[in-house]
A = this chain, B = another copy of it.
Amino acid sequence: MLDKTISGEISVSDMMGAIGRRARSAARQLATVPASQKDAALLAMAAALNAAIPAILEANGADVARAQESGASAAFIDRLTLNAARVVAMSEGLRTIAALPDPVGTTIAAWERPNGLAIERVRTPLGVIGVIYESRPNVTADAGALCLKAGNAVILRGGSDSAQSARAIHAALVAGLTVAGLPEDAIQIVPTTDRAAVGDMLKGLSGNLDVIVPRGGRSLVARVQDEARVPVFAHLEGLCHVYVDASADLSMAIDIVVNSKMRRTGICGAAETLLVDRAVAATHLVPILESLAQKGCQIRATDEVRALFAASERAEPVDFDTEYLDAIISVALVDGVAGAIAHIERHSSHHTEAIVADDAAAVAAFMNGIDSAILLHNASTQFADGGEFGMGAEIGIATGKMHARGPVGVEQLTSFNYRVRGNGQTRP
């Protein structure tokens, strides 16, 4: 429904067109702004967020009340609900981003040609980024700040459930932009929950939108991928595997499997499938599964696994293609690393996979043979996170293979161009 107080008589399409043009204009300005000015804005945004805690919590209270009336689940209400500590955490997130190095203008590569031409590949902003997300209010601050740091203008389109929270957070971001003398159109929020606005974004706003980042559930991402006429940083599910090789240290394997699955079950880097080398089924399988079961994990296993570990349910074929995001794991035996690679290539969402092994040849085969964004050796899949990678913050984990792959941080929100310096060269 169109918000009459903001849009008046204007159609959604006209409004979105204007938002796109203002974003492009802001992006042009941001492209040449010094790092110090962007960082000043980020710090002012952080201060404004803290100052606006009462207003943000009041807006959030209205969103939460509406969600409760509509019978939303407890998990949904939890994701939606803010408190002072959560707003302060958002604010700290902005300070962290301010402290990161500015990627814009850095030289990625430089070389000289025999004719004397000096060629540099230099990072540039992407331009205008559209972020389409669901009910998590913190995305408003995180995505706005990351895009700004990389010199981009951003158009935020949040879910209707968190609309009032998002607007209150957005007001604080704009206040910070203004303090630092940056255009307030650098971070815009779509002031309507009409789905036609998303359709306009997917069409690219007449060339004024350079990339779309969908952050949300499978159906949102699928719609965006299917309909977008502009590039998309796809964030699909994380159907992540842990493979325990015959050469694995058992105690390390237990720690890594339990952490990969159970530390937090609801994140995309949580393991969903355990593969154990058939050669060590007799020694490694049961202790690992017992540890998982003790932590409250439900085991869904193949018949040969169940023959060794009775306290498990039978896995249906679909289990090996399911991202549970819950305390459930599917388990199978495989024939060494080659068997693990074959299983993973068939079932993985190409997000994150881990091998526990001591054998260097098995590790090399795993690293070279699997086409996933993140491959780990002797470490938990839950490290699949921009912060854990040292990127400071991330807008998500991309599972596509183009441009950004894995954690999408500030650097991944840039493009590059070539700058060639000569002294009069012409081409023969």
Chain A: residues with CB nearer than 8 A to chain B? 28, 31-32, 105, 111, 113, 117, 119, 124, 126-127, 210-211, 225-226, 229, 231, 249, 252, 255-256, 258-259, 263, 345, 367-369, 371-380, 382-383, 388-390, 400-403, 405-406, 415-427
Query: A31-B368, A32-B369, A403-B402 are known contacts. Are A374 and B424 too (CB-CB below 8 A)?
Result: no
* A425 and B383 form a contact (CB under 8 A): yes
- Please list 28 pairs of residues, one from A and one from B, whose beta carbons are closer than 8 Å in the complex, sorted by A's number: A32-B369, A117-B379, A117-B383, A225-B229, A226-B229, A231-B231, A249-B424, A256-B426, A259-B426, A373-B417, A373-B418, A374-B417, A375-B420, A376-B420, A376-B421, A378-B422, A378-B425, A379-B420, A379-B421, A379-B424, A379-B425, A380-B426, A380-B427, A383-B420, A389-B418, A402-B403, A403-B403, A405-B415
Q: What distance in Å separates the Cβ of A296 from its nearest Cβ neighbour in chain B?
A: 17
Q: What distance in Å separates the Cβ of A202 from its nearest Cβ neighbour in chain B?
A: 12
Q: State the CA gap A367–B416 with chains docked (Å).
A: 12
Contacts beyond the supplied A378-B424, A379-B422: 6 A-B pairs with Cβ under 8 Å: A113-B390, A210-B402, A231-B231, A255-B426, A374-B420, A383-B420
Query: A380-B427, A382-B427 are known contacts. Are A400 and B231 too (CB-CB below 8 A)?
Result: yes
Query: In the complex, what residues of B have CB within 8 A of residue A373's CB?
Result: 417-418
* A28 and B379 form a contact (CB under 8 A): no
* A367 and B403 form a contact (CB under 8 A): no
* A401 and B424 form a contact (CB under 8 A): no
* B420 and A371 form a contact (CB under 8 A): no
Q: State the CA gap A113–B389 with chains docked (Å).
A: 7
Q: What distance in Å separates the Cβ of A152 from its nearest Cβ neighbour in chain B?
A: 11
Pick from B225, B371, B379: contact of A417, CB under 8 Å = B371
Query: In the complex, what residues of B have CB within 8 A of residue A389's CB?
Result: 113, 119, 418
Q: State the CA gap A371–B414 with chains docked (Å).
A: 12
Q: What distance in Å separates the Cβ of A215 from its nearest Cβ neighbour in chain B?
A: 18
Query: A229-B226, A375-B418, A418-B375 are known contacts. Are A424 and B368 too (CB-CB below 8 A)?
Result: no
Query: In the complex, what residues of B have CB within 8 A of residue A229's CB?
Result: 225-226
* A401 and B425 form a contact (CB under 8 A): no
* B231 and A427 form a contact (CB under 8 A): no
Query: In the complex, what residues of B have CB within 8 A of residue A400's CB?
Result: 231
Q: What distance in Å separates the Cβ of A214 from its nearest Cβ neighbour in chain B?
A: 15
Q: State the CA gap A420–B374 with chains docked (Å).
A: 7
* B402 and A406 form a contact (CB under 8 A): no
Q: State the CA gap A345–B259 with chains docked (Å).
A: 51
Q: State the CA gap A388–B119 with chains docked (Å).
A: 10
Which 4 A/B pairs are nearest by Cβ-Cβ distance?
A: A379-B422, A259-B426, A403-B403, A401-B415
